Amino acid sequence: MAERLIVVGGDAAGMAAASQARRRRDRDDLSIVAFERGHFTSYSACGIPYWISGLVPERDQLIARDPATFREQFDIHVRLRHEVTGIDLERREVVARDLDGGGEVREGFDTLVYAAGAVPVKPAWARTGTQGVFGMQTLDDGAALRDWLESEPRPRRAVVIGGGYIGVEMAESLIQRGLTVDLVEQADQPMSTVDGDMAELVADAMKGIGIQIRTGLAVTGLEERDGRVAAVVTAEGPMPADVVVLGLGVRPNTALAEAAGLPLGPTGGVRTDRRMRVPGVPGVWAAGDCVETLHRVSGMPVHVPLGTHANKQGRVAGINIGGGYATFPGVIGTAVTKVCDLEVGRTGLRERDAVAAGFEFVSVVAESTNRAGYYPGARTMTVKLIAERPSGRLLGAQIVGWSEAAKRIDTLAVALWNGMTVDDMTALDLGYAPPYAPVWDPVLIAARKAVDALAGPGR
Amino acid sequence: MAERLIVVGGDAAGMAAASQARRRRDRDDLSIVAFERGHFTSYSACGIPYWISGLVPERDQLIARDPATFREQFDIHVRLRHEVTGIDLERREVVARDLDGGGEVREGFDTLVYAAGAVPVKPAWARTGTQGVFGMQTLDDGAALRDWLESEPRPRRAVVIGGGYIGVEMAESLIQRGLTVDLVEQADQPMSTVDGDMAELVADAMKGIGIQIRTGLAVTGLEERDGRVAAVVTAEGPMPADVVVLGLGVRPNTALAEAAGLPLGPTGGVRTDRRMRVPGVPGVWAAGDCVETLHRVSGMPVHVPLGTHANKQGRVAGINIGGGYATFPGVIGTAVTKVCDLEVGRTGLRERDAVAAGFEFVSVVAESTNRAGYYPGARTMTVKLIAERPSGRLLGAQIVGWSEAAKRIDTLAVALWNGMTVDDMTALDLGYAPPYAPVWDPVLIAARKAVDALAGPGR
Q: What is the average per-residue pLDDT within A149-176?
A: 96
Cβ contacts of B60 on chain A, cutoff 8 Å: none
Mutate to test the interface with B, among A53, A414, A426 (most CBs of B within 10 A): A414
Whether A182 and A212 have beta carbons less than 8 Å apart is answered as yes
My answer on whether B388 and B313 are in the same domain is no
My answer on whether A203 and A244 are in the same domain is yes
Q: What is the DSSP string of B110-142?
A: SEEEE---EEE---GGGGS--BTEE--SSHHHH
Asked if the structure places residue A151 within a domain, the reply is: yes
- Alpha helical stretches, state H, A106-229: 139-149, 165-176, 196-208
Beta sheet of A104-108, edge-to-edge order? A82-88, A93-98, A104-108
Output the domain CATH number for residue A81. Answer: 3.50.50.60
In the Cβ-directed half-sphere of A305, how many Cα atoms lie within 13 Å?
27
The CA R_g of chain A, rounded to the nearest whole Å, is 23
Give the N- to C-terminal CA distance of chain A in Å, as an integer: 73
Beta bridge mates, B30: B3
Q: What is the average per-residue pLDDT within A243-263?
A: 96
Instruction: Provide the CA A45 distance to its chain's centre, in angstroms.
Output: 9
Residues B276 and B272: their CA atoms lie apart, in Å, by 5
**pLDDT greater than 60 at residue A398:** yes
The partner residue sitting opposite A334, judged by closest CB among B61, B328, B431, is B431
Q: Domain range holding A380?
A: 335-454
- What percent of chain B lies above the pLDDT cut of 90? 95
My answer on whether A283 and A379 are in the same domain is no
From A46, A187, A365, A428, active-site residue = A46
Higher pLDDT, A295 or A120: A295
Residues A279 and A265: their CA atoms lie apart, in Å, by 11
- What percent of chain A lies above the pLDDT cut of 70? 99
Residue A459 pLDDT grade (very low, low, confident, very high; cuts 50, 70, 90): very low
Residues A427 and A441: their CA atoms lie apart, in Å, by 11
Q: Measured between alpha carbons, how far is residue B410 from residues A420, A444, B169 in Å?
A: 15, 12, 21
My answer on whether A349 and A448 are in the same domain is yes
Asked if the structure places residue A329 within a domain, the reply is: no
- Alpha helical stretches, state H, A30-118: 48-53, 67-74
Q: What is the pLDDT at residue B340?
A: 83
Q: Measured between alpha carbons, how far is residue A262 from residues A14, A270, A272 in Å?
A: 17, 7, 10
Q: What is the DSSP string of A151-182?
A: SSSPP-EEEEE--SHHHHHHHHHHHHTT-EEE
Q: Which of B284, B299, B321 is the last residue of a domain?
A: B321
Asked if the structure places residue A134 within a domain, the reply is: yes
Asked if the structure places residue A327 within a domain, the reply is: no
Residues A13 and A10: their CA atoms lie apart, in Å, by 8
Q: Which residues of A378-398 are buried (b: 16+ CB within 10 A; e: fewer)?
A: beebbbbbbbbeebbbbbbbb
My answer on whether B270 and B376 are in the same domain is no
Tell me if residue A258 falls in helix, strand or coil. Answer: helix
Cβ within 8 Å, pair B331-A429: yes
pLDDT in tens, A47-96: 999 999 999 999 999 998 999 999 999 999 999 999 999 999 999 999 99
Beta sheet of A394-401, edge-to-edge order? A335-339, A342-348, A394-401, A380-388, A361-369
My answer on whether A297 and A216 are in the same domain is no
Q: What is the pLDDT at residue B459?
A: 46
Mutate to test the interface with B, among A410, A418, A423 (most CBs of B within 10 A): A410
Q: What value does the mean pLDDT of chain A take?
A: 96
My answer on whether B242 and B255 are in the same domain is no
My answer on whether B148 and B183 are in the same domain is yes
Asked if the structure places residue B310 within a domain, the reply is: yes
> Residue type for B75, please?
D
Residue A340 pLDDT grade (very low, low, confident, very high; cuts 50, 70, 90): confident
My answer on whether B358 and B290 are in the same domain is no
Residues A214 and A205: their CA atoms lie apart, in Å, by 15
Q: Biggest alpha carbon distance in chain B?
A: 75
Cβ contacts of A334 on chain B, cutoff 8 Å: 429-432
Q: Which of B248, B271, B293 is the last residue of a domain?
A: B248
Q: Which of A321, A350, A378 is the last residue of a domain?
A: A321
Supply φ then ψ for residue B223, to 5 degrees: -110, 145
Asked if the structure places residue A198 within a domain, the reply is: yes
Mutate to test the interface with B, among A407, A416, A441 (most CBs of B within 10 A): A407
Asked if residue B376 has a cis previous peptide bond (ω within 30° of 0), the answer is no
Residue A146 CB neighbours (<10 A):
17
Whether A400 and A391 have beta carbons less than 8 Å apart is answered as no
Q: Residue count of chain B, please give it.
A: 459
Tell me if residue A364 falls in helix, strand or coil. Answer: strand
Whether A76 and A32 have beta carbons less than 8 Å apart is answered as yes
- Alpha helical stretches, state H, A322-408: 351-356
Asked if the structure places residue B351 within a domain, the reply is: yes
Cβ contacts of A46 on chain B, cutoff 8 Å: 372, 432-434, 439
Q: Which residues of A421-446 are buried (b: 16+ CB within 10 A; e: fewer)?
A: bbbbbbbbbbbbbbbbbbbbbbbbbb
Q: What is the pLDDT at residue B251?
A: 96
Domain count, chain B: 3
Whether A316 and A326 have beta carbons less than 8 Å apart is answered as yes
Q: Would strands A118-120 and A250-252 be described as parallel, antiparallel, or unpaired?
A: antiparallel
Cβ contacts of B437 on chain A, cutoff 8 Å: 336, 407
Q: What is the pLDDT at residue A457?
A: 67
The CA R_g of chain B, rounded to the nearest whole Å, is 23
Please tell me the distance in Å from A435's CA to the nearest CA on chain B: 7
Residues A37 and A320: their CA atoms lie apart, in Å, by 26
Whether B42 and B10 have beta carbons less than 8 Å apart is answered as yes
- Alpha helical stretches, state H, B358-431: 409-417, 422-425
The parts of chain B modelled with pLDDT lower than 50 are 458-459
Residue A341 pLDDT grade (very low, low, confident, very high; cuts 50, 70, 90): confident
Least Cα distance to A213 among A134, A160, A155 occurs for A160
My answer on whether B10 and B97 are in the same domain is yes
Q: What is the pLDDT at residue B268?
A: 98
**pLDDT greater than 50 at residue A348:** yes
pLDDT in tens, B130-156: 999 999 989 999 999 999 999 999 999
Supply φ then ψ for residue B256, to 5 degrees: -65, -40
Please tell me the distance in Å from B48's CA to the nearest CA on chain A: 10
Cβ contacts of A62 on chain B, cutoff 8 Å: 374
The partner residue sitting opposite A374, judged by closest CB among B56, B312, B437, is B56
Whether B283 and B10 have beta carbons less than 8 Å apart is answered as no
Q: Measured between alpha carbons, how far is residue B222 from residues B128, B133, B137, B207 in Å?
A: 9, 9, 21, 25
Whether A297 and A348 have beta carbons less than 8 Å apart is answered as yes
Asked if the structure places residue A330 within a domain, the reply is: no
Q: What is the pLDDT at residue B457?
A: 67
Tell me if residue B106 falls in helix, strand or coil. Answer: strand
My answer on whether B153 and B86 are in the same domain is no
Please tell me the distance in Å from B287's CA to the nearest CA on chain A: 14
My answer on whether A237 and A314 are in the same domain is no
Q: Measured between alpha carbons, how far is residue A149 from residues A241, A339, B9, B14, B299 in Å?
A: 12, 22, 66, 63, 62
Model ipTM?
Answer: 0.95
Q: Measured between alpha carbons, how far is residue B402 from residues A98, A231, A264, B382, B405 in Å?
A: 47, 47, 45, 9, 7
Q: What is the average per-residue pLDDT within A389-409?
A: 96
**pLDDT greater than 80 at residue A21:** yes
Give the N- to C-terminal CA distance of chain B in Å, as an integer: 73
